[in-house]
Amino acid sequence: MSSPVLGIMTLYLNEHRALEERSIYRRMILEGRKRGLDVYVFTPADVHSGGKQIEAMVFHSEKGWSREWRSFPDIIFDRCRIQRNRRFQQLLAFRQKYGHLLFLNRPLRNKWTIHQTLSARPAFHEHLPDTLLFQDMSDVNRMLKASSLIYLKPINGTGGRGILRIERSGSEANTVLVQGRDQKRRIISPRKVHLSRLGSLLQNWNMKDKYLVQQGIQLQLPNGRVHDYRMLVQKNGEGQWELTGCAGRMGAEKSVTSNLHGGGQAISMHKLMKQWITDEKQRAEINETAEKFGIDVATFLENTYGNLCELALDLAIDKSGHIYLLEVNPKPAREVFARIGERDIYLKAITQPLEYALWVYQNHPNASRPPRGVKVTKPVKRPVKGKSPTLKRTRRSQL
């Protein structure tokens, strides 16, 4: 009997077919093989024009990366992140055309829609910062009256791009301190701005996307750097949500975000929280509350939007120990656990989706059905003659 097949769907980063997270995918392919799960990587651009086969990327220990023409997988693990280009339009077309296939995870919505969804459950209210959808300056002024610190965030932003931090000056009335990161993650140094000029400054800000206006949480450590916590919850091999791990993140100097790609530093949760919350009993209570909250959020969002297999929650904890949800990330990275030396958790973060995929295959009634009109065949380990000109052979170095 052939092994079940998991296709990891991602997007190329450029026209040279460069891939993000290639080392993660290599590890997933090898770990899947140990478990009797056949794993390959593909993008929507790799689907043959006839719609029946995929020019998949596979990894073998002996020869490295290569391409093989493969049938559609039994299950798809969607790892595609937002891009503003033709490749993302191909992804949207793929999701629409092949939406009847079995996916481990379905797309979530933007930050504003997720906030509205979570706000519908009263139990979550205390963990959600006050948030408005930016329409005009009245929203900023209203939030600044309620909170001395606010953030402006693009609703589809990732990696800390395009975020502004605005804080009322304690000593100078009608003055705010503005800083942030531009769309290329470059740090925008703090500058004092009179409230009467804040509107014109925001007009000049590159706000092509819709923005949120959100209550800020004071998270500056004694060294002046901001910090938060990245919690990863995943489905396990029994189809249940569980906490995989939680790590601390400390932002770069003068940064308003803690993102690792923006120069942030990964720190163990225990070590970081000990600097912030000195009472050991309180830290234990925070950990317990955060774990329950994370699993509750994942369960609620899955019930609302459809299949999910993992979520990262960015959490803020104020000086009193209160937990706030800053952001939900449906396509989380895993390297934060490797950076803090928690190799077991890092490996678990990689293998949990594989264990869950096997559980889905064994328990879902449609798991073994191929796509409509697709004949299941054995893998072809060489290029197929007469293939579509859009699917050119790629050198290993480009994989």
Give this prediction's pTM: 0.88
Q: Which fold has domain 5-102+365-398?
A: Rossmann fold (3.40.50)
Question: What is the spatial distance between Cα 38 and Cα 26, in angstroms, rounded to a whole number?
Answer: 12
For residues 345-371, give the mean pLDDT.
85
3-state helix, strand, coil in the chain (%, to 5): 30, 25, 40
Tell whether the model's pLDDT for residue 332 goes beyond 70: yes
For residues 366-380, give the mean pLDDT.
43
Contacts of 192-200 spanning 24+ positions with Cβ under 8 A: 195/141, 195/144, 198/137, 198/140, 198/166, 199/137, 199/140
Question: What is the spatial distance between Cα 22 and Cα 329, in angstroms, rounded to a whole number?
Answer: 20
Query: pLDDT band at residue 366, thresholds of 50, 70 and 90?
Result: low
The structure tokens listed for 76 are: 């798809």
Q: What is the pLDDT of residue 379?
A: 41
Fold agreement between 5-102+365-398 and 225-363: no
In terms of pLDDT, which residue wins out, 311 or 262?
Answer: 311
* Percent of the chain residues topping a pLDDT of 70: 90
Query: pLDDT band at residue 2, thresholds of 50, 70 and 90?
Result: confident
In terms of pLDDT, which residue wins out, 392 or 284?
Answer: 284
Q: What is the pLDDT of residues 155-165, one digit of tens each?
A: 988 878 889 99
- Secondary structure (3-state) at 104: coil
Of the candidates 271, 264, 236, the residue with the CA atom closest to the CA atom of residue 358: 236
Query: pLDDT band at residue 208, thresholds of 50, 70 and 90?
Result: low
Tell whether the model's pLDDT for residue 378 goes beyond 90: no
Q: Kindly write down the DSSP assignment for every residue of 334-354, as one continuous string.
A: -HHHHHTT-HHHHHHHHHHHH
The structural domains of the chain, with segments of one domain joined by +, span 5-102+365-398, 130-216, 225-363
Tell whether the model's pLDDT for residue 16 goes beyond 90: no
Residue ranges of alpha helices (H) inside the chain are: 22-34, 86-97, 111-119, 137-146, 195-204, 269-276, 280-305, 335-339, 343-363
- What CATH code is assigned to 225-363? 3.30.470.20
End-to-end CA distance of the chain: 30
Q: What is the pLDDT of residue 226?
A: 95
Q: What angle separates helix 343-363 from helix 22-34, to the nearest 10 degrees?
A: 60
Q: What is the pLDDT of residues 57-93, one digit of tens each?
A: 999 999 999 999 999 999 999 999 888 788 999 999 9
Query: pLDDT band at residue 395, thresholds of 50, 70 and 90?
Result: very low
Task: State the chain's mean pLDDT as an integer.
Answer: 89
Residue type at position 254: K
Residue whose tokens read 């891009």: 83
249: Cα within 13 Å, side-chain hemisphere? 28
Question: What is the spatial distance between Cα 40 and Cα 73, in angstroms, rounded to a whole number?
Answer: 9
